[in-house]
Structure 1
Amino acid sequence: GCNIEGEDESWDFGTGAGFYVDATEDPWKTNYRMYSYIKDELPKLINANFPTDPERMSIFGHSMGGHGALILALKNPGKYKSVSAFAPICNPIQCEWGKKALGGYLGSDVSKWEAYDATQLVKSYPNSHLDILIDQGKDDQFLSAGQLLPDNFIAACTEQKIPVVFRLQQASCFCSPYFFIATFINDHIKHHAKYLNA
């Protein structure tokens, strides 16, 4: 944590949930800048220390990290060759998690929240090529609680003619994100390899 008063009080805000935004509100705005970290700082660090090609990157995430992967790809057309996610938060301005986090980090102006909402961002995504793969467990408690809202994202992608493969996985054994991800991670690696090797 950043030793900010209250940052450890809730699992869905603060240390446990930065929501991949660049916060604009006190006391978060100095340290809670995960969007810029993932977009700028982390790639520089990786490229400086590993034999990578900065022109060929993809991005992936799970749950809130899936939200982060989607918004990073959609806010930066052409930067990422592909994007995939497991159980992403797809429309945070419409769910309680998102309203709490985005309001706390960005203030009460909902138009600022839209800049970090994949469903809103896809509506203005340019005609750049981007293929999206999403796996979602059917029995995910957060899906049934209305926190993930993939249907809203799929509808927006369909309207914009952006290819999205959404797979609602039926198996009931995915009580742990570890087993869910371990079961389908090879498909995600192949998805990214298809574009990174092109």
Structure 2
Amino acid sequence: MELVSSSKAFGGSQRVYRHDSAACACPMTFAIFLPPQIEDGPVPLLWYLSGLTCTHQNVMDKGEYRAAAAANGIAIICPDTSPRGEHVPDEPGNWQFGSGAGFYLDATQAPYDTNYRMESYIRDELPELVARHFPVDMTRQGIFGHSMGGHGAITLALKNPDRYASVSAFAPIAQPSTAGWSRPAFEKYLGPDERSWRAYDATLLIADGHRVKDLLIDQGTADGFLDEGLRPQLLEVACATAGIPLELQMREGYDHSYNFISTFMAQHIAWHAERLAKG
């Protein structure tokens, strides 16, 4: 791995690394905050998955997570949202597909299937790398994210309940297989057979029997994507039907931006910390 940057924050260390990814067949970049508690031994690891158009940098600059992570003794890792590079297929000008829009799935359709393997990268490759190089306790992992990243966090948690002890989301795309801003991407990445899309749709995964212990969601009522793209009520119905405890907090007047996310970031980290504490 190549260390891109490192700086001290809240007694810990905020770092950015670059490495060659076999899953995505290109160099990938990620950020990791290591709290001061690593001096006493391995700490829990919380994954943060960003939304459309973002890189690892957005939450680093705007998410305001380091104070809460240090206070709770949790490492936070922020991967990129897609493969990148001049040889990676893309649609310039389309912010809902390609670069910055990997949707945390493994593409099956050419030419995207070579590089767009974000599920394998997040689930398999990056954890193996992190476990080798950082003092984190891989038996205590949680995952959360925003928008597209909220979708990714919930689907990964549903499919890997033994991996992630906790899952939460800010304004997740609840049912991407039917949302207008994600359906076109799913078809390009996964093909026209919508049966294969079920593996990346939280509501349909729940309908197919996948479960998590509980789920926390924050959603702003002034979010411009609320009614057509996000639709948390669909996830609310799915969880109620399946008996999954869901805490859906509708935040009056908040939008889709990092002003919203940073306001409730510390609460989410504390919520995860309770579930990642040694039992």
Instruction: Say which of 216, 220, 244 aligns to 1:133.
Output: 216
Partner of 1:193: 273
SS at match of 1:90: coil
Partner of 1:21: 105
- Larger proportion of helix: 1
Instruction: Say which of 63, 70, 85 aligns to 2:154.
Output: 70
Aligned-pair CA distance for 1:177:
1.8
Partner of 1:120: 204
17-26 vs 40-49, greater mean Cα deviation: 40-49
Instruction: Say which of 152, 159, 180 aligns to 2:260.
Output: 180
Partner of 2:236: 154
Cα distance in structure 2, aligned partners of 1:5 and 1:20: 16
Instruction: Return the letter of the residue paired with 1:180.
Output: F
TM-score (norm 2): 0.67
Gaps of 5+ in 1: none
Aligned-pair CA distance for 1:161:
0.4
Q: Is the 8 A contact 1:21 1:32 kept in 2?
A: yes
Identity %: 49
Aligned-pair CA distance for 1:154:
1.0
Partner of 1:80: 164
How many equivalent residue pairs?
Answer: 194
SS at match of 1:96: coil
Aligned-pair CA distance for 1:175:
4.5
Partner of 1:45: 129
Instruction: Return the letter of the residue paired with 1:98.
Output: S
Q: Is the 8 A contact 2:90 2:99 kept in 1?
A: no
Aligned-pair CA distance for 1:5:
4.7
Gaps of 5+ in 2: 1-83
Change (3 A) 1:143 1:176: closer
Instruction: Return the letter of the residue paired with 1:178.
Output: Y
Q: Is the 8 A contact 1:70 1:85 kept in 2?
A: yes
Cα distance in structure 2, aligned partners of 1:55 and 1:110: 34
Q: Is the 8 A contact 1:74 1:125 kept in 2?
A: no
SS at match of 2:225: helix
SS at match of 1:182: helix
Partner of 2:246: 164
Instruction: Return the letter of the residue paired with 2:152.
Output: G
- Larger proportion of strand: 2
Structure number with larger C-alpha Rg: 2
> 1:87-106 maps to which residues of 2 (within 5 A)?
87-106=171-190
Aligned-pair CA distance for 1:52:
1.2
Cα distance in structure 2, aligned partners of 1:73 and 1:5: 28
TM-score (norm 1): 0.93
50-59 vs 66-75, greater mean Cα deviation: 50-59
Aligned-pair CA distance for 1:118:
0.4
Change (3 A) 1:163 1:36: same
